[in-house]
Structure 1
Amino acid sequence: MAGVTKVSLKLMIDTERRRVLYAEAGKDFVDFLFYILALPIGTFIPLLNQEMVGSLGNIYDSIANVSTTYLRPNVNKESLLKPMAYFSGGTGLPLHLPNVESSRKLYRCCQQVSEFNTNCACGRAMFEETIYVGTPSANNPYSSVGNYVKGKVTYMVTDDLAVKPLSTDSILTLLNKFNIKEIGALEEKVVDLGMDEVVKLLKASLLTKSILTDVFLSVLKEEVDFSKKGKEEDDW
């Protein structure tokens, strides 16, 4: 996995209701959110551990536990448990999910293609390497993965990860929705996203609709409490 750099968000916090109303975000963060939808669902399950809602985790465990005796010779467990995302030119994203690999190396034999050097249905090993090449076109979502929205634009990302360009109208609409009289009532806080925050954000997005609040507000509260405690000790 490529090295992860930090991406910053400016949170607008409704301190009275103790929630993040929205975040001001740039291209990097919005591209990351859109990139999540291009990933195989199997990449998410190991990250969620026991927090998985529903039964997809049971399917994952069944694959992990099934004996290879019951699998066809050309089936490799790893290809199911650790699916790879085929992006023809990489993502170019500063943020990535852990253990998500972008692979362009494939193995071929007869009419079958696999990302693993395994056995073909004919019994021979798949040893001939081939390269995945995405066709550049507007209809191919993998040809430009990681490069979805225009730069030099500030986007509004609401607490439930709805995205739209930031504008006076979008701000006023949100303020009216939550009966907030003026934007001056909101507190601004800039936060950085690294790998820990990325994983927490993914988990929260599958479990709740208050993603930004759940991921960032408890951390910010701890920072504030710690700062106040330090000041009190200095005064003492």
Structure 2
Amino acid sequence: MAAVTSKVSLKLMIDTESRRVVYAEAGKDFVDFLFYIVALPVGTFIPLLNQEMVGSLGNIYDSFANLSTTYLRPNVNKDSLLSPKAYYCGATGLPLHVPNVESSRKVYRCCRNVTLDRNETCSCGATMNQESKYTVLPSANNPYSSEGDFVKGKVIYMVMDDLAVKPLSTVSIIALLNKFNVKEIGDLEEKVVDLGRDEVVKLLKASLLTKTILTDVFLSVLKEEVNCQQEVEGNF
């Protein structure tokens, strides 16, 4: 399981009256991470939700987990579905990672089959652990380049509360202010927050359960920080 190699910062623009995040200003790192989520297998998310799963995907997951190996084909590895590993190419691509996401430039083979997982079972029944060289060339058909990039740097992006993304612009800001009945940008409170591994997991969970992701993930944390600070000050 890959570890978070660094933290990424977001500048939240908060409507203090309604206590919600109107939007966040983000750089390339965070936007690349959001777009990379699209490439993750569904099985990556299900274990993170635990009992919070909405819908029936959890039932499918549990059914496979509880199914006796008597009913599975001999070359089927349960972990390949229950604990899938999504790979991105490039050891220094994304600064934010999620559980079971690994960086890899290697592929493994057996017979004529190729895989990214060295523990996968080949159709012949053998383990696919013969390492081969793997080179990724950026192209129009490749979902990400060898560095895991999606969007251009040196651009400030606007991330909405529901994680919709667009380049930051005056027109977009004015439209949001009107939508939330905020008179001017100066009425919004600015707050910079850092995302590490804990925040990544919370964000993934919230993205599957609500459309107010930034508000639900970060304002509750900020409220806890304020309460703790008030308790500390009250003891002196």
Same fold, judged at TM 0.5 (above): yes
- Conservation of the 8 A alpha-carbon contact between 2:137 and 2:146: no
State the secondary structure of the residue aligned to 1:62.
helix
Per-residue deviation, 1:131: 4.5
Amino acid at match of 1:18: R
Q: Name the stretch that deviates more: 120-129 or 152-161.
A: 120-129
Note the alpha carbon deviations across 1:137-168, whole angstroms, 9 max, x for none. Answer: 11210445731111111111111111111111
**For residues 27-176 of structure 1, what are the structure 2 equivalents within 5 Å?**
27-90=28-91, 92-114=93-115, 115-117=117-119, 119-144=121-146, 146-176=148-178
Shift of 1:189: 0.7
1:84 Cα shift? 2.2
Determine the C-alpha separation between the residues in 1 that align with 2:187 and 2:228.
24
Give the one of 191, 194, 200 matched to 2:193.
191
Instruction: Give the C-alpha shift of residue 99 in structure 1.
Output: 2.3
Q: TM-score, normalised by structure 1?
A: 0.89
Which deviations, in whole Å up to 9, do the C-alpha atoms of 1:40-84 show, x marking residues without a partner? 111111111111111111211222222222222222111112222
> Which residue of structure 2 lines up, in the alignment, with residue 208 of structure 1?
210
The one-character-per-residue Cα deviations of 1:184-219 (angstroms, maximum 9, x if unpaired) are 111111111111111000100100000000001111
Q: Tell me the TM-score normalized by structure 2.
A: 0.89
Q: For residue 16 of structure 1, what is the aligned residue in structure 2?
A: 17
224-233 or 151-160: which moved more?
A: 224-233
Match of 2:9, SS? Answer: strand
Instruction: Report the equivalent of 2:224.
Output: 222
The separation in 1 between residues aligned to 2:38 and 2:114, in whole angstroms, is 24
Counterpart amino acid of 1:188?
E
In structure 2, relative to structure 1, the CA distance for the partners of 1:44 and 1:137 (3 Å cut) is same
| Shift in alpha-carbon separation, 1:71–1:22, aligned structure 2, 3 A | same
Question: Which residue in the other structure is 2:183 paired with?
Answer: 181
Q: Which runs of 5+ in 2 are unaligned?
A: none
Deviates more, 1:4-13 or 1:60-69: 60-69
The more displaced of 142-151 and 33-42 is 142-151
Q: 1:46 to 1:102 in 2, by over 3 A?
A: farther
How well do the aligned residues superpose, as a CA RMSD in angstroms?
A: 2.1
SS in 1 for 2:172: helix
Amino acid at match of 2:139: S
Q: Aligned with 2:158: secondary structure? A: strand
CA, structure 1 residues 17+113, in 2 after alignment: closer, same or farther (shift >3 Å)?
A: same
- Matched to 1:60, the amino acid is Y
Give, in whole Å, the separation in 1 of the partners of 2:57 and 2:128: 30
The alignment-based identity, stated in percent, is 76
CA spacing shift, 1:223–1:66, aligned 2, 3 Å: same
Letter paired with 1:44: F
Measure, in 2, the Cα distance between the counterparts of 1:122 and 1:6. 43
Point out the more displaced range, 72-81 or 164-173.
Answer: 72-81
- SS of equivalent residue, structure 1 residue 171: helix
